[in-house]
Amino acid sequence: MSAAGLGIISFLCVLTGMTGGMLLRKALPDHHLCDDSRDAVKMGAGLIATLSALVLGLLISSAKDSFDAMNNAITEGSAKLIVLDRILAQYGPPTQDIRDKLRCSMIRTAAMIWPSEETDEKKMIAFEESPVTMELVAAEIRELNPQNDLQKMFQSEAIEICRDLLQTRWLVIEQAQLSLPMAFIVVLLFWLTMLFGTFGLLAPANKTAVAALVVCALSVGGAIFLIEEMNKPLGGMVKVSNAPLLKAIEYMGR
């Protein structure tokens, strides 16, 4: 399910709970809304609000960790690409063809992951199915014939960075497989629906109170939307920047 769809469903759920509470308020006899009853309902609402806040905080933390992990992987990988290109440049002219292949591969990768017309899922499928250029680059580096100790050192360092970049590539792929536990979302929406039901039950039936509750419902939907967006950091409105990779491409081949 898309982040926008989940956000809309969340908004409709809490709005339904609020409306149900207001309708229930009109249907209940007056003695059901006495001060003692209100206090009991408020205590129950406080408990649900606390549980909802805990789960919501857990989901936000999980989504933020996912977003940060992807962002860090791309940033660190881009920095290592620049270092690898510099090492190959210091090795000498025999590595020029390898550097050109590496730069072209990164240009294709950037276009593959950040095309505006593709969805997050299609991007990752294309990324996974793309040729593992880094493995080919590593193989060509191993086949180099160093003429002195300095070139041997550069070759060893380049191979080590290639290993790191391969690990980063698979980290990006594996990170994209993570998703928010749907059970958490379902339970959270149930609690929020019940919570807004109590709001509708206790709130006065006037335009100000209704408007305030609708704004709160929109805020809840927006929070769920942002959580789902951050959990898919390569697509949607909230996604990791391609600036580190573009900067690496700019420096590569110089």
Looking at residue 176, its pLDDT comes to 66
pLDDT of 118 > 50? The answer is no
Tens of pLDDT along 35-63?
777 788 888 888 889 998 898 888 888 88
pTM above the 0.85 mark?
A: no
Under the banding of pLDDT at 50, 70 and 90, the label for residue 1 is: low
- Mean pLDDT, rounded, for 185-199: 90
Under the banding of pLDDT at 50, 70 and 90, the label for residue 119 is: very low
Looking at residue 174, its pLDDT comes to 72
pLDDT of 135 > 80? The answer is no
Looking at residue 193, its pLDDT comes to 92
- Mean pLDDT, rounded, for 72-88: 87
Under the banding of pLDDT at 50, 70 and 90, the label for residue 116 is: low
DSSP string, the chain: --HHHHHHHHHHHHHHHHHHHHHHHHHS-GGGGSHHHHHHHHHHHHHHHHHHHHHHHHHHHHHHHHHHHHHHHHHHHHHHHHHHHHHHHHH-GGGHHHHHHHHHHHHHHHHHHS-TTS-HHHHHHHHHHS--HHHHHHHHHHT----SHHHHHHHHHHHHHHHHHHHHHHHHHHHTT----HHHHHHHHHHHHHHHHHHHHHS-SSHHHHHHHHHHHHHHHHHHHHHHHHTSTTSSSS---SHHHHHHHHHTT-
Under the banding of pLDDT at 50, 70 and 90, the label for residue 175 is: low
